Amino acid sequence: MTMLIDRQVLILQSIVENFITTNQPVGSKQIAQNIDFSSATIRNDMSKLEKEGLIKKTHISSGRVPSEKGYRYYVDYIKKDYELSNSENEKLKQLSGGDIVSENNYLEKNAIVLSDLTDCTAVILAPTKTDRRINKIEVILLSSRSILVILVTNIGEVFQQNYKLDADFTAEDIAEINKLLQSYFYDVDMATAHVMIHGELEKYLKNKVNNYDMIVVALNRLLQNKIKKTVALGGKYNLLKQPDIDNVEKLKEVVSLLEDDKIVELLDNNEVTDKPSIKIGTELKLGNIDDLSLVSSSYNTSKGQGVIAVFGPKRMDYSKIMTLIACVRDNLNNNLK
């Protein structure tokens, strides 16, 4: 951890918070308006902060902007509590009033309010049981080209789906398939089973059953449908309005990122807890997109655990967004039964 004296902490805080507000480089004279030190002292400390990699110069002025390391230091050691305004409180109160018509509509309503209050893109994943495991999965041959797949979970859910096939299968083929399903997939969580289908199952069946790939596709579809997470989006295109992303290729990548499956994958790849966590820039591991940050938190209902997240530029107002996410989390915990 970089050690800073109190004055340098105040200067870094001033640079980060001014840049969050204005999106303009911050100079010593601007800082001196709010901190009772001379411009010369502030410039000297700004040079030290730059050497530590916490701020950097831009090519258009002598002012400084926060670096990714500077944002991380601010988030971890400096950020202050955010006090909601009256209008923000009023908007949040709208979420707890009235009956919940449907879960999906309610999640979308929360995501829209969160995006409106943050001017970023808000994502809410519907709650799912994190402990859903397979108790039984079986394929039943209805005819030579028709099967029924039955899936029973450890919490008593029963799913079944008919599938038409493009080749003939025998009772012996199906017996071989069920033998493997029984030995490999009992008491395995559904997400892991989904991965195993394209690994061990496919490898084994390739040498045992003709046209095995059709069965793999059928099993994959059933599991994928049952583990697929419902995504509620608010302010989907708010990210595209941010001046921070001014490259056409990056804009295309951001649009692609906002597809449901990619959002779920991104959130699944980032550890989410019941306390807001923050990933900044390259910490998100999005390749060329290093201008975004993600603030996320889990929420818990009787239906399982869900995720709330806000995507925005690195210069997002972290204190405000963490406070708003906490409010939405508490609202969902209390009202989504």
Same domain, 137 and 272: no
Q: Output 288-292 pairs: Cβ under 8 A, ≥24 positions apart.
A: 288/249, 288/250, 288/253, 289/250, 289/253, 289/254, 289/257, 290/68, 291/244, 291/245, 291/250, 292/239, 292/245, 292/254
What is the CA 178 to chain-centroid distance, rounded?
A: 36
Residues 312 and 235 in one domain: yes
Q: Residues 160, 234: one domain?
A: no
Q: Decide if 217 contacts 201 (C-beta within 8 A).
A: no
Same domain, 205 and 249: no
Residues 171 and 279 in one domain: no
* Shared domain check, 253 and 125: yes
In a domain, 91, yes or no: no
Global model pTM greater than 0.85 = no
Domain count within the chain: 3
Are residue 235 and residue 291 in the same domain, yes or no?
yes
Residues 308, 181 share a domain: no
Q: Which residues pair with 280 in a beta bridge?
A: 293
From 74, 109, 76, select the one nearest 276 (Cα to Cα): 76
- pLDDT at residue 60, rounded to an integer: 64
Domain extent, residue 331, equals 98-129+229-335
Task: Tell me what pLDDT residue 287 has.
Answer: 80
58-84 pLDDT per residue, tens: 776 678 999 999 999 999 999 888 999
CATH number at residue 140: 3.30.390.60
Question: What CATH number is associated with residue 329?
Answer: 3.30.450.40
- The confidence score (pLDDT) of residue 68 equals 95
Average pLDDT along the chain, 337 residues, taken 10 residues at a time: 88 95 91 89 94 87 89 93 94 80 88 95 84 86 92 85 89 90 84 75 80 84 74 86 73 77 75 81 86 91 86 93 94 85
Q: What pLDDT score was predicted for residue 295?
A: 95
Residues 198 and 319 placed together within one structural domain of the fold: no
Asked if residue 85 is part of any domain, the answer here is no
Taking the C-alpha atoms of residue 98 and residue 91, their distance in angstroms, rounded to an integer, is 14
